[in-house]
A and B are shown apart, each in its own frame.
Chain A
Amino acid sequence: MMEIGGLTIAAARRMLKAGSLSPVTLLDEVNGAINRVDQEVGGYLSRDYQRARAAAEHADVHLPLGGIPVAIKDAINVEGEPCSCASKILEGYTAPYDATVISKLRTAGAIPFGRTNMDEFAMGSSTENSSIQITRNPHDPERIPGGSSGGSAAVVAAGEALAALGSDTGGSIRQPAALCGCVGLKPSYGRVSRYGLVAFASSLDQIGPLTRTVEDAALVLQAIAGHDPLDSTSLDVPVPDYSAELEAGVKGMKLGVPKEYFVEGMDPDVAERVREAIDVYRDLGAEIVDVSLPHTKYAVADYYIIATAEASANLARFDGVRYGHRTVGAKDLADHYGRTRGEGFGREVKRRIILGTYVLSSGYYDAYYLRAQKVRTLIRRDFEEAFKQVDGLLSPTSPVPAFKIGERMKDPLQMYLADIFTIAVNLAGICGISVPCGTVQAEESNLPVGLQIMAPAFEESRLLRIARAFEATRLL
């Protein structure tokens, strides 16, 4: 029997094209792996095997992703399947259309297979805010997989998916990828259409892949990137061949290490693994340069004004009228709204709607929201200045490895600080990727550590090339 656990998209494609593997067999192997391990992991919310099977039977293996099953975060609409954002308020909702990324995946021959768990409405860093189930880290079942795309990261890491789509508003692809030991790519703002992604914070959200290798991330990005008239924020910029420069190496490149990304309070072993990765780049011929991103310390505060403000507006659409949960026996319309939303949303979503409404309210708008937008300009400029000196930036993805289930649930601020190194990338609209760079020992477990690489907007080719150069030294 084939071992799906280590199979990459690239390897599966070679076997599919050579005829040594059929799309139906591949799907059955993935489905079998889910049956074996997902009871423990809890990464999937549902899957429609019969529908995927029908697609596999007709798959064209000569297409770029022909016959490759891809797991989908529950925030992305897949026509005919539930899409709940792991929220009670979307219970019973059936997606009436395919998100653009889904139609693009289908055009490339891929088979959407399985909805993955997440923090409710992508609000969280541990997937514990799911109103449906707990997802466990495949490296230690007592620990969280990260979030909000924790289901997507866990199913890839546990070998029950070749690849998955996630969404990243403040680190929600990169942080779980780091904590689960897989590759997670957040494309530049405007690179991938969000049409059909349930909106959280519209000036920050991006869809991207979680995969086992950098090469696979390039293959999935290739399929989903590009301009879409249905998302006015997607830019009409040509999509390069993301695999073309993958093996070009980093010799002669300048890579910056921002001093603000090695802070007090971070896990010293995590810092050590990242320092070792930086040494690898030096050995590969890159010039390592110390840089400063002076407004880094304000990124988390800035994000929790901007993201909650946008979320409070975006989540106004959940009113119990057009879709989702609706309260029973309301006495008037205001009572209907209040009870529907009070019953349907979970605690973290409620907290963020309240905070976001407050920072936008009359008398506080200038002090909070407008000021936050100005600080955002300063954070963006930090990166513009840095990228005048260097080709890319290297940092930890997360200051700590996977923490224990329940550990940070009592204190929202502690949870917010889990994203301290990933948030600025979204605020600046640039691209970032997390690649595994070793493990740290915590009690009985070896927990993965992620190296974050950042590159200027629309420089995904360079980002992937830098990431691949490091990965090539690890995978032999």
Chain B
Amino acid sequence: MNAPHLDVRYVADLVRLRLTEEEIAEFQPQLDHVLSYIEQLNEVNTDGIEPTAHASAVYNVFRPDAARDYFTQEQAVANAPHSGSGLFLVPKVVVEG
């Protein structure tokens, strides 16, 4: 494992979270503190222990692959900050070269 270092600015960029300089300065020591607390899990011997992803033993729940009534297109876009012609509008993604 790499030496633990959480670079707040770098990770925030990865998750598309624009932080102010003030937030970065505040979060860095706070998260370093939380991470050093979390390090105590390294004391635990987990050799041969199966991971638990969730608490109930249910996997692969299927339903019939059938059409059902749900939102209309109009309802689906009703909360969109920008929409038009029943579609979500976003800033231009592909820039012409």
- Chain A residues with a Cβ under 8 A of chain B: 92-94, 96-97, 189-190, 202-204, 229, 232-233, 235, 295, 297-298, 300-302, 304-305, 312, 316, 319-326, 330-339, 341-343, 345, 347, 350-351, 353-355, 357-358, 361, 363-364, 366-368, 370-378, 380, 411-413, 416, 426-430, 457
Contact = CB atoms under 8 A, between A and B. Distances in A.
Contacts of A368: 38, 41
Interface in B58-97: 58, 61, 63, 71, 75-82, 88, 90-93, 95
A357 B14 contact: yes
Nearest to B36: A413
Contacts of A374: 44, 46, 49-52
Given A321-B80, A370-B51, 15 more contacts: A203-B53, A235-B58, A322-B79, A339-B18, A347-B26, A350-B17, A354-B8, A355-B35, A358-B11, A366-B1, A367-B1, A368-B41, A371-B46, A375-B41, A428-B55
A334 B16 contact: yes
Given A342-B19, A354-B15, A189 B56 contact: yes
B interface secondary structure, majority: loop
Contacts of A332: 91-93, 95
Interface string B7-40: 0100111111111100100110011011101101
B80 A323 contact: yes
B23 to A, nearest CB: 7
A416 B34 contact: yes
B93 to A, nearest CB: 5
A430 B51 CA distance: 17
Contacts of A295: 44
Interface centre among A323, A364, A374 (most CB of B within 10 A): A374
Contacts of A338: 13, 16-18
Contacts of A355: 6, 31, 34-35
Contacts of B50: 374, 377
Q: Which 5 pairs across A and B sit closest by C-beta, in order of nearness?
A: A429-B55, A342-B18, A373-B51, A203-B54, A326-B81
A326 B80 CA distance: 9
A347 B18 CA distance: 12
A350 B19 CA distance: 9
A377 B52 contact: yes
Given A235-B58, A375-B46, A377-B52, A345 B17 contact: yes
B19 A96 contact: no
A367 B52 CA distance: 15
Contacts of A202: 54
Contact of B40 (A233, A301, A324, A377): A301
A297 B82 CA distance: 48
A364 B51 contact: no
B44 A375 contact: yes
A239 to B, nearest CB: 16
9 contacts: A93-B79, A96-B76, A202-B54, A232-B61, A333-B90, A341-B16, A343-B18, A364-B4, A378-B46
A363 B33 CA distance: 20
A457 B54 CA distance: 13
A350 B23 contact: yes
A380 B55 contact: yes
Contacts of A323: 79-81
B37 to A, nearest CB: 6
Contact of A342 (B17, B33, B44): B17
A145 B10 CA distance: 36
B26 to A, nearest CB: 8
Contacts of A319: 16
